[in-house]
Amino acid sequence: MNDIEQMARLEALLFVAGDPLTYEEIAAYLSLGTEEAASLVEQLKRRYQRDPMSGLVVRRIEGAASIATKPALSDTIEAFFGKVRDLKLTDAAYETLAVIAYNAPATRAEIEAVRGVNSDSIVNRLIERGLVREVGTLETPGRPALLNVTETFLMDFGLSSTKELPPVDLMMYDTITEFTEERQSAAHTAAVPKPLVIAIDGPSGAGKSTISRLLSEHLGILTLDTGAMYRALGVKALRQGISPADPEAVRAMLAETTMDIDLTDRVQKTLVDGLDYTPYIRTPEASRAASDISALPVTREYCVRLQREIGKKQALILDGRDIGTYVFPDAPVKFFITASPEIRARRRLSDLEKAGNPSTLEDVMREMAARDLQDSGRELAPAKRAEDAVLIDTSEMSVREVVDVMIDVIRQREALQPGWGRGAHGQQ
Ligand code: DC
């Protein structure tokens, strides 16, 4: 078979698979070697990139590939899913609806525990189609959203209430009964083993904070933005007229500084000496000050001690630069999130505009390049990828796609090491 035919076969295969296929699987289906399969995937990826008339992209992650729609077309896709309400539901969607109806109110993690697979995209589609809605949050760390079926669902299925649903043992899911019992005894909290620490490192503008927030909602665990800590200390130094790059002055300042991180409301509050600095830390001056002050050993010691203390108390997602390499080198799951400099600068520019601090793309790119160089070039805890971190380039991915990929990685790790999420992780 020639390359052109193989390429067509690969495209057809990825199209019907929907979920990522590993290079080994592709190689087996196409009777190729694994390296040839990887090279074919690369060619298909480039073909889509070159073709402005294509609405598709190839996603590659950890030795697997899938076909997805271009993030720039999300408006069209959302319009389609929003409008075409009478589309037939897939078996997976029916299954998810049943899990929610029988267990309502249920969290995403509980739905996943019953189905055994990540069901976020299906749940989102059911929400878009008006069959499921959020009805509140669970009062546990991370406050995951609680989901229930809607009146549209009841009407579509000819029910006046979910109490009219047939008894559970008529259903095909043996696990629902078991699951419900377990859920009652565990008071809603222990459905899924949670990873103790998830490290998310990468340069600014790569999308770490948005991704961490969504991941936190999905997994029901808290997230700590470590950059905010360096930013707040940088702002305090500026306010006191201290140079954030002056080690002695910063040492004296830190000796008189109390930092508290309030994560109770999901949205992080970074308090310095009792004052919430959150509103003041996203300016270009704060970014520069953070980059300077974070290069000082005394500041790193101060912040890392606090980060480890918080991470020891509860399951936690931390986003930063050195989480996987230094703060929690034994974290069971590590990601390094990046994107092209231009895309990162565009994202930062849009954040600045939203915060009422408009700038220009050129200025933001220049600032970012200088900060990247300083953050990754420094001797102490340089921003770099841990060897065992999964690298994700988010340039051409939507946030939802990135999060889905990360959840898959987390679940794969969990399957390899059952129970690792609950044990101590051994950092000091
Ligand atoms: O992620 P951010 O842009 O909010 O980070 C602000 C600064 O703090 C950035 O210059 C890098 C630095 N930083 C760090 O050195 N280590 C971390 N764990 C997080 C941020």
User: 333 and 402 in one domain?
Assistant: yes
Whose Cα sits closest to atom 13 in ligand 1? 227
Which of 292, 294, 299 should be mutated for ligand 1, with most atoms under 8 A from CB?
294
Confidence tier at 270 by pLDDT (50, 70, 90): very high
Give residue 151's pLDDT. 78
Residue 321 Cβ inside 6 Å of ligand 1? The answer reads yes
204 and 258 co-located in one domain: yes
> Is 299's C-beta closer than 6 angstroms to any atom of ligand 1?
no
Smallest CA-to-CA distance from 359 within 343, 345, 375 is with 345
| Residue after which a domain boundary falls, among 165, 184, 203 | 165
Q: State which ligand 1 atom lies nearest to the alpha carbon of 322.
A: 18
Does residue 229 fall inside a structural domain? yes
For 42-80, the pLDDT digits (tens) are 999 999 988 889 999 898 776 788 888 887 887 787 777
Which DSSP string corresponds to 299-328? HHHHHHHHHHHHHHHS-EEEEESSIIIIIS
205 and 339 in a single domain? The answer is yes
Q: Is residue 25 part of a domain?
A: yes
pLDDT confidence of 244, banded at 50, 70, 90?
A: very high
Give me the mean pLDDT over the 403-423 stretch: 71
Angle at 214 between CA 177 and CA 314, to 5 degrees: 75
pLDDT digit string (tens) for 203-222? 988 989 899 999 988 888 89
Co-location of 234 and 342 in the same domain: yes
- Name the strands in the sheet holding 275-276, side by side, starting at the edge strand that comes first in the sequence: 259-262, 269-272, 275-276
Using CA positions, which residue lies closest to atom 1 of ligand 1? 227
Both 199 and 236 in one domain: the answer is: yes
pLDDT confidence of residue 110? 86
Q: What is the mean pLDDT of residues 394-416?
A: 85
Decide: helix, strand or coil at residue 158: coil
How many A from CA of 266 to the centre of ligand 1? 20
- pLDDT by residue (tens digit) across 140-192? 777 788 899 887 787 777 666 776 666 544 344 444 444 444 444 543 444 44
What's the pTM value of the predicted model, to 2 decimals?
A: 0.60
Q: At what angle do helices 284-294 and 226-239 cross, to 10 degrees?
A: 100
Q: What is the pLDDT of residues 197-208, one digit of tens each?
A: 999 999 988 989
Q: Which atom of ligand 1 is nearest to the CA of 303?
A: 18
Answer yes or no: do 319 and 401 share one domain.
yes
Compute, in angstroms, the gap from residue 283 CA to the centroid of ligand 1.
14
| Ligand 1 proximity of 401 Cβ (cutoff 6 Å) | no
- Number of domains observed in the structure of the chain: 3
> Which residue is it, tokens 């969290």?
107
Domain that holds residue 146: 91-165
Which residue has a Cα nearest atom 16 of ligand 1? 321
Mean pLDDT of 363-368: 91
- Compute the distance from residue 290 Cα to the ligand 1 centre, in Å: 7
- Asked whether 322 lines ligand 1 (CB < 6 A), one says yes
